[in-house]
Amino acid sequence: MKLEFLIEKKYIFLHAFNQNQHDEPFRGWSRFTLDKWNKYPQECYFLAGFAEWPLLRKKSLKVLATNSEKLLEEWLNTPQVKRLIKETQKYRDWLEEEWNKKGEKALIELEKIIRILLPKKKISVYVTHPKLKNGMALNPEIIVWGHPEDWLNYSIIYLCHEIMHILTWDEKVDTKTMHAIIELATDNELRIRLNKRGKYFKEGEFDVGHPKLKKLEKNMYPFWKKYLKKPKQNLKQFIELQKKKTNKYNK
Ligand SMILES: [Zn+2]
């Protein structure tokens, strides 16, 4: 498993500019973006993920897309966006070094948890600003990542979480169940093993995992603990067993 950490300037900007992004990467960023919104509202709606709003103003999306892309190119040369990219590049270098130092050990431990041989595979990781939140497997070849290091080995553990989404991409099980199993395996078990301390569902002041999955995970937890003690079972078999139970949990 090889991870390649990449910088894509337009993506980094749009991620920071997106409607779902409420935090500032640094002070002054909101003032900068607000100024752009005032000057080019329709293009900004389009670029920030509100394409339906210009549509209501009877704007042509084709024309808008062309104008927006031109503006995007221009904005890459502003001091604010240059700073955003520079800080992300620095974070990328740190992340690569961190993964080179600890990634292999984490994957060996992950393999012990899931008891499935990891495939030889190259994955591209597109990095975003470290003060903002991002983390997703877009498809079986691409992960997007950028997040504050909330606790020890945060990035290492969540990169393994995203790798698990890729490994289970074609698994025929509902996504909620699959996601809960991934969180038990990586956010919790792998975290505790790598950090040599900690407990399930909580790390210091932080709740671990998606709030929406917590109930399901707690229901699965006793079975998960049993699974960990049965070295002859692997994750695929655990998934099969859980599939049958999920409907009951969700009631
Ligand atoms: Zn996930």
Is residue 4 assigned to a domain? no
Residues 74, 134, single domain; the answer is no
Tell me how far the alpha carbon of residue 83 lies from the centroid of ligand 1, in angstroms. 29
Residues 114, 73, single domain; the answer is no
If one counts the domains in the chain, the total is 2
Give the domain-ending residue among 92, 112, 138: 92
Q: Give, in order, the Cα–Cα distances in Å from 113 to each of 3, 98, 162, 229, 236.
A: 20, 22, 15, 10, 12
Domain extent at residue 155: 99-250
Give the domain-ending residue among 92, 125, 160: 92
Q: Give 216-228 pLDDT, tens digit per residue.
A: 999 999 999 999 9
Tell me how far the alpha carbon of residue 149 lies from the centroid of ligand 1, in angstroms. 17
Is residue 224 assigned to a domain? yes
Tell me how far the alpha carbon of residue 165 lies from the centroid of ligand 1, in angstroms. 7
Residues 88, 201, single domain; the answer is no
Q: How far is 119 from 167, CA to CA, in rounded Å?
A: 8
Residues 16, 109, single domain; the answer is no
Is residue 121 assigned to a domain? yes
What integer pLDDT is reported at residue 9 of this predicted model? Answer: 98
Is residue 46 assigned to a domain? yes
pLDDT tens, the chain, 251 aa long: 999 999 999 999 999 999 888 899 999 999 999 999 999 999 999 999 998 888 888 778 899 999 999 999 999 999 999 999 999 999 999 999 999 999 999 999 999 999 999 999 999 999 999 999 999 999 999 999 999 999 999 999 999 999 999 999 998 888 999 999 999 999 999 999 999 999 999 999 999 999 999 999 999 999 999 999 999 999 999 999 988 776 665 55
Instruction: Please tell me the pTM assigned to this model.
Output: 0.94
How high is the mean pLDDT of the chain? Answer: 95
Give the domain-ending residue among 37, 70, 92: 92
Name the residue type at position 7.
Answer: I
Tell me how far the alpha carbon of residue 46 lies from the centroid of ligand 1, in angstroms. 27
Residues 218, 112, single domain; the answer is yes
Residues 134, 200, single domain; the answer is yes
Q: What SS3 state is found at 186?
A: helix
What integer pLDDT is reported at residue 246 of this predicted model? Answer: 65
Residues 58, 148, single domain; the answer is no
Q: Give 2-20 pLDDT, tens digit per residue.
A: 999 999 999 999 999 998 8
* Integer Rg of the chain from CA: 21
Residues 40, 115, single domain; the answer is no
Tell me how far the alpha carbon of residue 210 lies from the centroid of ligand 1, in angstroms. 8
